[in-house]
Amino acid sequence: MTTKIILSLCCLVALYSISSCKKDDHSPKGDITGKVVVYDSLGRPRADYSGVQVIIDSTNFSTVTDASGAYVFHKVPAGTYNFSFKKEGYGTYRIIRQQHAGGPQATRLDTADVGQIYDGPTVTLFIDIAIGGPNSTQRFTYTEFAAPIRVPAASVMYLSTKPDVSPTNFVISIRNTNAFIPEDRMSYQTDNDPFNYYIDANPILHNSPSVYWYMAFDNVRDIHYIDEAGRKIYPCLGKRFVDPVNSRHIPSNASKASYGVITR
């Protein structure tokens, strides 16, 4: 009796394995095509769009664009995929949750923008300046560089209640184009609205005793995508503006944030 039960179980396992293999063999597969446009750090299209590695995340599928920016994947099983677009010196662009039905009709992806990163010259001073009194204070970031920055220059600032603020960990982001005014060719100051305006408009930031920031140059072209968590990601950011330890500071009785924190 026991032998018959074991044989029956073995037959069921064998039948399940066969049916599973047949299901995989008959799952719809098809091509995925798309195009990439490559931009320099000023947001101008380059003449050659080749050399961008296109990856289907969490799979073994990978290919490279040709000079026109075109690429194709063959015989990709039906499913929902994330795509990454990588090139040395450029920001990694992504397409999230792309559905692929498979079959004879190829899936066409939206055009991906891959932009060159601009770090800018070395930062020699990065602080915030408070203007006004205790009841009405306006804050601006102030930055000095070792050499003149290139104009136009876009930037992104991230604000958070946590010290580990980053381009993927923030409460709000503020993007500006031509946000810097040259002073004596070496000193630049942001020309955007006081960032306390954004703090006061956001309940989370407004009610926090401290607000932390992260700031960096961005590609002049407004390249961004929405990630899995619903956040707007700017993939072409340069190095973070950090106040050097040996920098000189502007004397002020107002509280200031030499290292990216505002104490309220």
The burial class, CB within 10 Å (0-12 / 13-18 / 19+), for 155 is buried
Q: Which of 20-24, 61-65, 96-100, 237-241 has the lowest mean pLDDT?
A: 20-24
What's the mean pLDDT in 249-258? 38
Residue 175 region by backbone torsions, left for phi larger than 0, else alpha for psi between -120 and 50, else beta: beta
More confident residue, 262 or 219: 219
What's the mean pLDDT in 121-140? 75
- How far apart, in whole angstroms, are the C-alpha atoms of residue 185 and residue 144? 10
- How far apart, in whole angstroms, are the C-alpha atoms of residue 223 and residue 118? 13
Closest CA to 178 of 150, 215, 214: 150
**Residue 191 near residue 179 (C-beta atoms within 8 A):** yes
Q: Residue 194 has which token pair?
A: 């006081």
What's the mean pLDDT in 132-142? 70
Q: Which residue has the tokens 């073994």?
A: 60
Residue 197 in this model has a pLDDT that exceeds 90: no
Q: What DSSP line would sit under 5-37, residue for residue?
A: HHHHHHHHHHHHHHHHHHHHHTS-EEEEEEEEE
Q: Which residue has the tokens 């000023």?
A: 42
What's the mean pLDDT in 41-49? 97
Average pLDDT, the chain: 81
